[in-house]
Structure 1
Amino acid sequence: MVKLVLSIASLWLALCVSATAAPAEIVSDTLTDLAPGGQLRAAINFGNPVLAQRDPDTGLAAGVSVALARELAWELGVPVVLVPFDEAGQVVDALKSNAWDVAFLAVDPARAGTIDFTAAYAMIEGTYLVPAASPLKRAEDVDRNGVRIGVAAGSAYDLYLSRSLKHAELVRTADTAAATDLFRRNQVDALACIRQPLADYARAHSDARVLDDDFMEIPQAMGMPKGRPAGARFLRSFIDEMKSTGFVAKAFGVSGQPDVIVPPREQ
């Protein structure tokens, strides 16, 4: 009787495993695509403080990008290596040297030729910082002859504004810090960036204000180099799962960004 029970239990376990385990070749392809060197190299863009932050005391990386990278590595059963960058443009450029396996970037047509993106896991506003006494009241007012806009080269808002502006002039800098310095020294009329850091600046400087509306909504997604289809499929499913389980929303809350909009899972 004991042998019979054990046999039934063993059969039930075998059926469960066979029903849930993916074919070995699919698992192998996924690992090869996402962690070709046996580890997951995740590009972390510290130029976007909504997605990634450094602990001021320890210098350790934190934020939703870090949380998602670690969770993905855990699901794949491989170690994670965080590859730091100061701006999104640097992340995109580093793809040429095969510096990372997954990244956290704004979706943009200019990037879609070399990067496969998941569905968006967050939506962030792109808007302007202007002097408190500026006549510019709305985002549409900024696109005027003679208006100079500071922007980090290669950022999502640089790419978008490069396509959409008809009159204003973009003044590109190496990074957001340099663009902010131009604004502080009154060398540009507006600073384009995501809303959260601009709001932080305005709270600390009474001579500046953030426009109430935005010039774009920026979908933030995970991405990986094109040409790795098994990994891309897995990554899309991973992001869907992380959104539907509440993992993404919780990670934003833990990192002090509870107001970020997390889009629903795509049907």
Structure 2
Amino acid sequence: MTLANVISDLAPTGKIRAAINFGNPVLALKDSVTEQPRGVSVDLSRELSARLGVPVEFVTYSAAGKVVDAVTANEWDVAYVAIDPIRGAGIFQTPPYVVIEGAYLVANSSPICTNDEVDHEGIRVAVGKGSAYDLFLTRELKRASIVRAPSSPATVEMMVQQKLEVAAGVRQQLESDARRLSGLRVLDGRFMVINQAMATPKGRNAGGEYLHDFVQEMKASGFVAEALRRNGIEGAAVAPMKGW
């Protein structure tokens, strides 16, 4: 693996096109003042750009599913997505850099009190189309049905409007929605752990190998932890080094 090969893989157009997903507030947000993207995925993209000595261009998306779909259109070189076997079919994924929780939200009046009570006949679960929760719950739910919102940020609004029983998503997003909208509560615990990784299209072997080592170094050095702190992200944890 040479630096030239890495740059050819990760910046084939002369710049790193980094896919930034605004659908997950743990990873990226639009700054309220500058309207520019900020967050841990943005910070990692800028650090990668500095190390390779090439500029970075942010390609923004409203949902993780749209990021994954865009790989076939060659719209990005580096992305930030949850590790999932279906997504892994078309993209190389690094070890995780951040671990976040998938949680359920219900109405205050709902009889549902635990995660185990969700998977029952007649329960409709709202999820963002193509999100990690969509992929996971599609495999795991046996009796409840899934109703897909256009994006993860639209999930709770759709749940409320259509009077669905449950919404599933990032705990931080659901807790924010529960504070913003009245009559909602987030269930204790989690129904899944989401391992967020960097990604590049399959076939870019030198780039994939470089990203693997890059992510591990960013965790070990404290860069990821500092990026989470700087961007005010609570509830997410730096992924462990071992096991990957």
TM above 0.5: yes
2:26 counterpart of 1:47 = no
Distance 1:266 1:176 in 2: 30
Gaps of 5+ in 2: none
Gaps of 5+ in 1: 1-24
Deviates more, 1:202-211 or 1:220-229: 202-211
Q: Which structure shows the higher strand fraction?
A: 2
Is the contact between residue 142 and residue 168 of structure 1 (CA under 8 Å) also seen in structure 2?
A: yes
Is the contact between residue 44 and residue 103 of structure 1 (CA under 8 Å) also seen in structure 2?
A: yes
2:59 counterpart of 1:59 = no
Report deviation, 1:186. Answer: 4.5
**2:99 maps to amino acid:** M
Change (3 A) 1:261 1:177: closer
**1:146 maps to amino acid:** G
2:169 counterpart of 1:230 = no
Structure index of larger Rg: 1
Distance 1:178 1:62 in 2: 20
Identity, in percent, stands at: 47
Q: Counterpart in 1 of 2:13?
A: 37
Distance 2:234 2:142 in 1: 35
Residue aligned with 1:259, SS: coil
Residue aligned with 1:129, SS: strand
**1:229 maps to amino acid:** N
Distance 1:177 1:244 in 2: 31
How many correspondences in the alignment?
243
**2:84 maps to amino acid:** D
Distance 2:204 2:33 in 1: 38
Is the contact between residue 119 and residue 266 of structure 1 (CA under 8 Å) also seen in structure 2?
A: no
Distance 2:213 2:88 in 1: 19
Q: Counterpart in 2 of 1:257?
A: 233
Is the contact between residue 118 and residue 239 of structure 1 (CA under 8 Å) also seen in structure 2?
A: yes
Q: Counterpart in 2 of 1:96?
A: 72
Q: Counterpart in 1 of 2:165?
A: 189
Task: Give the ranges of 4+ consecutive aligned residues of structure 1 lying more than 3 Å apart after TM superposition.
Answer: none
Distance 1:27 1:177 in 2: 38
